[in-house]
Structure 1
């Protein structure tokens, strides 16, 4: 099974200027090498058969004849391979010469795509030798004894792989305001290949990298780029052999520039993920570009996908780069405070009520509220922070909550919920020695009632503390901690909450607040609804009951963000965690996730308002509309152990 991945390559072979025999030999060598590495499509640089820097030699018939001769040699020497190769060479059609990309497979030419934009400025003189593809008169060309499709309107569509369609542009085509690849993507190309000969000057590689990233993002596509290496002529410029493979705004793989040896990048492009993104993006296909492409059918090489070259992040919500993580946390915190500020300004309320447990979620919600009040110039004493110890509250979390509230100079209240819960147990005839869901939820709803009533009393807004991961799993009490008047954490996953609290701690000026935040960060995640153990420690650890949050957040990200099937999620999870969890453990918690995600939708269908901060939200008014009684059977049956 390929799980929707196509393995592509970008090659930068050694070459000799105007030596077609040498260059074709290297091309065959790299095609065979890529074939052995199970690449399905391989890209070569611009004019790779002749070299890019031939200058006026392009007007010599012998060079043009030799390029055709050695194209035929490449076809003969790769006839036994199924890999698709994209080569660069000059092609003469109707007395015009075109800088072209030639697509071959199994000894046959699938099609020829000429360059559209021909540079003729500064160090570039291509207008001297080549015509633009838009000036072509014919839509076919005779190469190696056969008539093959020719033109800027060609796309190559795999008949045996849903959505695996690619387009070709050449070097300068990418640098114009509307590249040909933009239209190719709108016409169905999920992969874009650029044969290039981009020389190196100071800062150009960074700009080139960003250009490729942006084009892959704008086109919701994979973008493969291969540029000429150092063996091109250095009469006036130097080429670095820059090759990149990008996907939807991110670089998957990148070559080392200025290498004396030929290079081959190989990586997988997730075509299924790209198609899912395009399907959701309803504006993507709105432009009127129909009937403007000829699709050339081919069968993509079949491979068995046992592993991935690409990195699979085990914590997709949390940037691994410290600098990026710092920026992410700063931006999320700003979104949270801006959302709450607007709600307070709109309602005219100058008081907030929030329950503080000493855990991560309520800590983050309090920090957001404190920052918002400071931003609006409202006294922080107007934040009514309430600790409500119950049957499972430990000294550790109790004093963490108190010390946090004191350090932030908010109004502190304490309401012991045990007497009210005991009375309620009597009222409904529940044996409080039975520590079941009734025992737990009575406490959660009692706390919510207290918060709501106090907010009515003082004219305040109840701040919700629940996070995205809890909502996905339904790990909240309906009309208990599930409910609030504004929920500031509702689209922040559990794995990110911890880093946000840590970020605030690192950027907090008050030493006493930093100290207590560090203690909270080291406390196990727990709802604290069951009595402590004999040592007074937390007895109810959430991850022991429903599984590790890092797994659930991984499942959530790939299922909701990209529509990945459970078997693909399982495949990716094995790669991401690389032996940290046994297969049976991953399968167990994946099944738990799916069952809970489907059965707990009714809680998400009536969520309070709250800000979306990332690409995933489960708000019924925003990103996620799902019937509460949908069945999970299809998803559960898809899991292959």
Structure 2
């Protein structure tokens, strides 16, 4: 299985060459040197140089000299000939004569063949810029074809380069084009471009750096595209302005690589995920152009012969639901907690209900549900005593979880109830003729449904609302009892994955400082995840550990995110997981649990088809009403077949 099929990645780069103003021969040699290194040592497939990189941007009235213009064309011809063995699209900037005018252009070529020439659309003529003195706008062109380097080539600001073997589609714009209210790249993206190249010459003044960076980030996000931006470097003339060689590789709103004020002659590269971008676009049904304008585009095909990537230049986050930095994690936790608590508060306010009932087990999920309820009641200025927490010890309850449940409820000042389910379950076993010594699914589910019945009945008695505690990861795997803990009146954690639940509780504990509440919360986060439906071991510790039965939630949350958020195939998810969890999980183990994930995800859809209401918090949610609509009897065979073909 090739890396191309597995990853859907393409390696792209930006380069800031050394240059001499007005010396295309020198500049061409530097471009050639960088291009050969980028292609042969790093297998970069698309490489972008700055605006007017063959001549230099700051040539001034020298642009009107025939000698310079001829030298630029000769350099381009020599550059194409010397790089024709490279399997790489190269984008360079140069002045080009056409239609009795001069245009500031990007020239894109591959294996010695010009794919197209893109003239600059918006030519600045204000402040320190006076390009109209030399250059016409691409909108003023007459011809759609020009003769260049002995070829008749496409000359258009509506140019798309399409890879015949993948969904990669390239378009280009030049510097000022991005600063316009409606950049050409916005239109290009609507008609298929997912990799935008910007050959730029943006000088440095105080405050401009951050503004320019935000422009690139926002445009890549708005276009759901990768955006390669590279500006002229420090070797440009400093007669009136200074250039920094600011370069950025952005992908859908995130800066992946960046350079500024670095030594000339360098390049950066990154592996962008075209499959990810296109999956995002397909979900967005407003992302489309008009049929009447599509005909204006010139579409040129190309094909790469070798796209294999031996070592990915891209960070694969093992915890996609959890921000890596503590600062961002704190911000995210605050936001999530607010969304959850406001969702519950509004449900109570609109129904006129003044009480909630929660089953408190001493585990992570019920703890988070309780903390969110506290926040909602404080927001509504309703007494915490109207939160009825019920601990319901059963055959698998351990002293650790039992004590933590009681301690937390008392310290938080809610109403505490304790109702043992043992006698009721024993009677029920007798009623249905089940042997108590047979610890099967019936033994477990009887307890789960008994607890739910107690919660529902107490809610009726008190005129309250049952707050559900189950999380997103459990719903994805169907790790809940149908019409047991699966059911509630408002599922507050329904879109919170297990890995994030832990961080939310830890964040709340840190917020509490050195208190008994904080200590209890931290002990809860360190308790093994378990439904506690089977008896404890001889030492009274948890015997039934969820992650030993169905797999580690770190893995399952990674699988879930990449399947639902990006629509990746099983083989791609497996490959990414082997990178993300390298050194922690063996490939065989990852494959084993990925098979479990797919089988459970498909077979347990019937539980998700009848979920109670609950607030959507992140980009992934399994609500059958708004986010995930899947038949309960769908087949998982083709997904499992793909995994069965993987050899570790």
Give the alignment's TM-score, normalised by structure 2: 0.97
Shift of 1:200: 1.6
- Deviation (angstroms), 1:615: 0.5
In the alignment, which residue of structure 2 is the partner of 1:588? 592
Q: Check the 8 A contact 1:606/1:620 in 2, yes or no.
A: yes
**Of the candidates 403, 409, 415, which is equivalent to residue 411 of structure 1?**
415
**Alpha-carbon deviation of 1:286?**
5.6
Q: Show the counterpart of 1:556.
A: 560
Alignment of 1:245-324 (within 5 A): 245-255=249-259, 257-285=260-288, 287=290, 289-324=293-328
Q: Which consecutive segments of 4 or more residues in structure 1 shift more than 6 A?
A: none
The corresponding residue for 1:507 is 511
- Residue matched to 1:364: 368
Q: Give the corresponding residue for 1:145.
A: 150
| 1:190 and 2:194 matched | yes
Local SS of the residue matching 2:299: strand
Q: In the alignment, is the contact (CA less than 8 A) between 1:224 and 1:246 conserved in 2?
A: yes
Specify the SS of the correspondent of 1:181: helix
Alignment of 1:367-406 (within 5 A): 367-406=371-410
Q: Distance in 1 between matches of 2:151 and 2:534?
A: 78
Aligned to 1:431: 435
What is the aligned partner in structure 1 of residue 129 from structure 2? 124
1:91 to 71, 75, 96: 96
| Structure 1 residues 618 and 190: alpha-carbon distance in aligned structure 2, compared to 1, 3 A threshold | same
CA distance in 1, matches of 2:474, 2:402: 22
SS class of match (1:496)? helix
Whether 1:487 aligns to 2:513 is no
Q: Is the Cα–Cα contact under 8 Å of residues 10 and 307 in structure 2 kept in the other structure? A: no
> Aligned pairs, how many?
639
Q: 1:576: Cα distance to partner? A: 1.2
Q: Equivalent residue of 2:401, what SS?
A: helix
Q: Is the CA contact 1:84–1:300 (under 8 Å) kept in the aligned structure 2? A: no
Look up the match of 1:171: 175
What's the CA shift for 1:129?
1.1
Give distance in 2, aligned partners of 1:174 and 1:72: 29
Indicate yes or no: 2:217 matched with 1:208: no
Q: How many angstroms does 1:287 deviate by?
A: 4.9
TM superposition shift of 1:537: 0.8
The question of whether the paired residues in 1 share the 8 Å contact of 2:390 and 2:418 is answered with: yes
Which residue of 2 is the match for residue 41 of structure 1?
46
2-structure distance, mates of 1:636, 1:483: 30
Q: Does 1:568 align with 2:569?
A: no
- Residues 1:220 and 2:236 aligned together: no
Name the SS for the 2:228 alignment partner. strand
Please state if 1:57 is matched with 2:62. Answer: yes
Offset at 1:167?
0.6
1:242-275 deviation line (CA, Å, top 9, x unaligned): 11111111112112x1122422111111111111
| SS of the residue 1:295 aligns to | strand
- 3-state SS of paired residue (2:58): helix
CA deviations 1:495-546 (Å, max 9, x no partner) are: 0001111111222378222121111111111111111111111111111111
Q: Is the contact between residue 28 and residue 78 of structure 1 (CA under 8 Å) also seen in structure 2?
A: yes
1:351 and 1:427 map into 2 onto residues whose CA distance is: 33
- Residue by residue over 1:89-135, the C-alpha shift from the partner in whole angstroms, topping out at 9 and shown as x without a partner, is 01110111111000111111111000111111111111111111001
CA, structure 1 residues 231+222, in 2 after alignment: closer, same or farther (shift >3 Å)? same
Cα distance between partner residues in 1 of 2:396 and 2:142: 81
**Separation of aligned partners in 1, 2:72 and 2:403:** 79
Aligned twin of 2:529: 525
- Cα RMSD for the two superposed structures: 1.1
Q: Secondary structure at the match of 1:156?
A: strand
C-alpha contact (below 8 Å) 1:83/1:301 kept by paired residues: no
Matched, 1:105 2:117: no
- In structure 1, runs of 5+ residues without a counterpart are none
Helix, strand or coil: the match of 2:267?
strand
Query: With structure 1 as the length reference, what TM-score do the two structures score?
Result: 0.98
1:119-178: CA deviation from partner (whole Å, max 9, x where unpaired): 1111111111111100111111110111100011111111122x1111100011111111
Partner of 1:52, secondary structure, is coil
SS of corresponding position for 1:212: helix
Contact 1:307–1:575 (CA<8 Å) still a contact in 2? no
- When structure 1 is superposed on structure 2, of 224-233 and 474-483 the one drifting more is 224-233
Q: CA deviation at 1:24?
A: 0.3
Tell me if structure 1 keeps the 8 A contact 2:81–2:112: yes
Distance in 1, matches of 2:110 and 2:294, equals 27
CA contact (8 A) 2:14 2:269 kept: yes
CA offsets 1:28-49 (integer angstroms, 9 cap, x no match): 1111111121111111110010
CA distance in 1: counterparts of 2:128 and 2:641, whole angstroms: 60
Matched residue SS, 1:308: coil
Partner of 2:478: 474
Q: Paired residue for 1:136?
A: 141
Q: Distance in 2 between matches of 1:421 and 1:233?
A: 85
Cα distance in 2 for partners of 1:287, 1:404 equals 59
- Give secondary structure in 2 for the equivalent of 1:562: coil
- Alpha-carbon offset, residue 234 of structure 1: 1.1
State the alpha-carbon separation in 2 of the partners of residues 629 and 172 from structure 1: 54
2:43 maps to 1:73 = no
* Matched-pair contact (CA < 8 Å) for 1:40–1:301: no
Alpha-carbon distance in 2 for matches of 1:32, 1:514: 58
Contact kept? 1:353, 1:383, Cα under 8 Å: yes
Given the alignment of the two structures, is residue 338 of structure 1 paired with residue 305 of structure 2, yes or no?
no
User: CA separation in 2, counterparts of 1:30 and 1:621?
Assistant: 53
Where structure 2 has 5 or more consecutive residues not aligned to the other structure, the ranges are none
Partner of 1:507, secondary structure, is helix
Compared CA separation, residues 351 and 509, structure 1 to 2 (3 A): farther
Deviation at 1:302, TM superposition (A): 2.0
Q: CA–CA distance in 2 between the matches of 1:371 and 1:424?
A: 37
Residue in structure 1 matching 2:455, options 434, 451, 458: 451
